[in-house]
Amino acid sequence: MKLALYQGPAIDGDIEAGFIRIERQLSAAALAGARMAVFPEVFLPGYNRPDLHHSLAQPLGGEWTRRLSALAKQTGCGITIGWAEADGGKVYNAATCFDETGAQIAHYRKIQLYGPREQESFEFGDSYTVFDLWGRKAALLICYDVEFPQHCIALAKQGVSLILVPTANPRGFEYVSEALIPARAAEMRLTIAYANFCGSEGDITFGGHSVIVGPDAKPLASAGVGETLLVTDLSALDRIDGTILSQQQADYRRVGKTDDT
């Protein structure tokens, strides 16, 4: 099965331009044979638009998610995308996954909000989301979440082998794509798809370097700093030599008092 990952500039609050771009990229991904495309964090209405997070946030089942569902069905390519979710007077940094029929198959709220900027806009999520994708047990994390090994360990313990990660990683933090994502993937024998922005939005310049990494810590596909649509065939994972993969889950030995992770 082919997985796509879209790296592009932020829409900076222009919702209609954002949906035009989503349709274009989903159509391109479908033409390349992909059945799912991962987009960046808070793609709607824009990551670095805190002035819009509360005023434009939509509920789950609202206009944005209805349109996303329709586009997935229309193009024949599923979508995983970050957006600002309104619920009960609160706003969450959320990600939702629709399959190629337009059915919602996963919804998640970011657990690890990064610093005052995010914490002023959003409430903390408090639970994982695990779902089936093409016979693989999958999960969603958002940006900073995946940098914590504890979350990847907890998901691996639930049998997850694929994590889709919308992100908004700034320039200067390329070590996340180059070191932390491969490490998280290798430690728990995961495949991680990490979809970042490129270009600038307000006072943030994004770092690009989106990547899809397999459980052997090697990239299946990677981007530079410009707009890119990555497409990779996950069947390549079946050809990885299992004898070289990490045995940490089986071999870990607790010392003293520790938590469950």
Residues identified as active-site: 41, 110, 143
CA atoms within 13 A on the CB side of 248: 16
**Whole-number Å distance between alpha carbons of 72 and 102:** 5
Give the chain as a DSSP string.
Answer: -EEEEEEB---TT-HHHHHHHHHHHHHHHHHTTEEEEE--TTTBT-TT-HHHHHHH-B-TTSHHHHHHHHHHHHHT-EEEEEEEEEETTEEEEEEEEE-TTS-EEEEEE-SS--HHHHHHH-BPP----EEEETTEEEEE--GGGGG-HHHHHHHHHTT--EEEEE--PBTT-THIIIIIHHHHHHHTT-EEEEE-B-SEETTEEB----EEE-TTS-EEEE--SS-EEEEEEGGGGGGS-GGGS--HHHH----SS----
Most distant pair of Cα atoms in the chain: their distance: 55
Q: At what angle do helices 15-31 and 63-75 cross, to 10 degrees?
A: 20
Which pair of tokens denotes residue 163? Answer: 């994590």
